[in-house]
């Protein structure tokens, strides 16, 4: 004859079951907390790559919606950052493979590494001088600075070499506005010039010069364009805060070949790409740019012009198709730790039940 389970016994079993379920839920919650819920990357390098990946998505969507075309032959990864071979604001011949290489989100990760090696940390000021030649490196640098929670003080020039940001409808001004409007990589451009010859677009058609100047002003960006080279350099140093007695700039990033940033002496072409903690500028160098002025003040320099040399030096894939997927870093508990915690919890339940405390 079956033995009927008393109400007290059933309640006791339910309490045990409830306690075991509670422990399982608690362990699940601890494991989720350990992983970081949504898998947000835990390192600045990973965060920077993620930001650049999102920026590429935003740029691609904008290009498609605005009626500008993405040529699959020139831009097989459909980044939207590859411009024309020639346009009304093209300054020099550029290397298509180099331009495509810089659209790799791995470049943002590399920029974090270089900035950290330069000593940049949270709250530090990073001076950025960027021509329109490498919009990919522009995004990579902004993403890296943001990931490090540092501050970027940015001066841009709109002239660009082949396949850079040389579409007059989508210069660095439009790119900057787009990134800020979509809150992808928040930043502020502190000054902009036309770029090109004399940093004033002297080789551009007068109507193009006027159009570029108007778009800079319309974006609320101070227009730079001194006729005297030294004054143009001093103005940028002032914007970066280098006119103060206190050393306020932790690193200077030069992107592309802007004349005011690099200077016009051929010596600059001998400078290796990447990080330079110190540079001894020869005394014979004339028309020194911002880079030389920063070096003379002991500011670490990150020089981004020779992309092939940079990629080879740091193991960045050359002209990859497709771009590698940005991995989302997740922390997971070691399985035996989870098992040990669970067994410990169940032992407590068993002990309490034996003592009739459950």
> For 71-123, what is each residue's pLDDT tens digit?
999 999 999 999 999 999 999 999 999 999 999 999 999 999 999 999 999 99
* 31, part of any domain: no
* 338, part of any domain: no
Q: What is the pLDDT of residue 343?
A: 67
Cα(151)–Cα(190) distance, rounded to whole angstroms? 12
* 24, part of any domain: no
Q: What is the pLDDT of residue 37?
A: 46
Q: What is the pLDDT of residue 333?
A: 46
Cα distances (Å, whole numbers) of residue 93 to 125, 163, 318: 32, 9, 19
Q: What is the pLDDT of residue 220?
A: 97
Q: What is the pLDDT of residue 109?
A: 97
Tokens at residue 150, please? 């540092």
Distance of CA 195 to the CA centre of its chain: 23
Which range of residues forms the domain containing residue 291? Answer: 44-314
Q: What is the pLDDT of residue 330?
A: 43
Sequence-separated (6 or more) residues with CB below 8 Å from residue 207 = none
Counting the structural domains of the chain, the total is 1
* 25, part of any domain: no
Q: CB of 303 within 8 A of CB of 276? A: yes
Q: CB of 39 within 8 A of CB of 328? A: yes
* 195, part of any domain: yes
Which has the closest alpha carbon to 110: 324, 310, 318, 325?
A: 310
Lookup result for tokens 């819920």: 37
pLDDT < 50 positions in the chain: 1, 3, 36-41, 245, 327-333
Q: What is the pLDDT of residue 357?
A: 55
* 194, part of any domain: yes
* 67, part of any domain: yes
Angle CA(297)–CA(242)–CA(120) in degrees, nearest 5? 75
Sequence-separated (6 or more) residues with CB below 8 Å from residue 334 = none
Cα(237)–Cα(266) distance, rounded to whole angstroms? 22
The reported pTM is 0.80
Name the 3-class secondary structure at 218.
helix
* 358, part of any domain: no
Q: Kindly provide the b/e burial profile for residues 302-311, where b requires at least 16 CB atoms within 10 angstroms of the residue's own CB.
A: bbbbbbeebb
Name the 3-class secondary structure at 18.
helix
Cα(174)–Cα(338) distance, rounded to whole angstroms? 50
Q: CB of 148 within 8 A of CB of 44? A: yes
């Amino acid at each position: 004859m079956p033995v009927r389970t008393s109400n007290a016994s059933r309640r006791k079993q339910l309490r045990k079951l409830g306690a075991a379920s509670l422990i399982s839920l608690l362990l699940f919650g601890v494991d989720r907390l350990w992983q970081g819920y949504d898998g947000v990357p835990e390192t600045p390098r990973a965060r920077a790559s993620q930001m650049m990946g999102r920026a590429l998505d935003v740029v691609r969507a904008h290009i498609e919606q605005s009626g500008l075309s993405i040529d699959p032959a020139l831009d097989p990864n459909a980044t939207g950052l590859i411009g024309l071979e020639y346009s009304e604001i093209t300054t020099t011949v550029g290397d298509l493979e180099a331009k495509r290489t810089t659209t790799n989100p791995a470049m943002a990760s590399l920029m974090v590494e270089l900035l950290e090696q330069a000593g940049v940390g949270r709250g530090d000021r990073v001076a950025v001088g960027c021509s329109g030649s490498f919009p990919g490196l522009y995004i990579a640098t902004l993403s890296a600075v943001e990931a490090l929670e540092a501050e970027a003080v940015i001066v841009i020039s709109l002239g660009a070499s082949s396949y850079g940001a040389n579409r007059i409808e989508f210069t660095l001004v439009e790119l900057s506005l787009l990134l800020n409007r979509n809150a992808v990589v928040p930043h502020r451009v502190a000054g902009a010039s036309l770029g090109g010859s004399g940093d004033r677009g002297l080789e551009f058609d007068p109507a193009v010069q006027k159009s570029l100047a108007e778009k800079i002003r319309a974006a609320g960006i101070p227009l730079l364009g001194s006729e005297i080279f030294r004054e143009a350099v001093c103005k940028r140093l002032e914007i970066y805060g280098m006119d103060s007695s206190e050393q306020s700039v932790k690193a200077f990033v030069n992107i592309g070949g802007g004349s005011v940033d690099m200077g016009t002496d051929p010596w600059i072409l001998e400078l290796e790409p990447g990080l330079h903690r110190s540079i001894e500028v020869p005394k014979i160098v004339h028309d020194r740019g911002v880079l030389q002025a920063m070096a003379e003040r002991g500011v670490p320099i990150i020089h981004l012009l020779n992309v092939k040399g940079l990629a080879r030096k740091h193991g960045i894939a050359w002209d990859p198709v497709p771009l590698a997927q940005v991995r989302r870093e997740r922390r997971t508990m070691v399985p035996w730790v989870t098992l040990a915690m669970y067994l410990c919890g169940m032992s407590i339940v068993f002990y309490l039940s034996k003592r009739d405390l459950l």
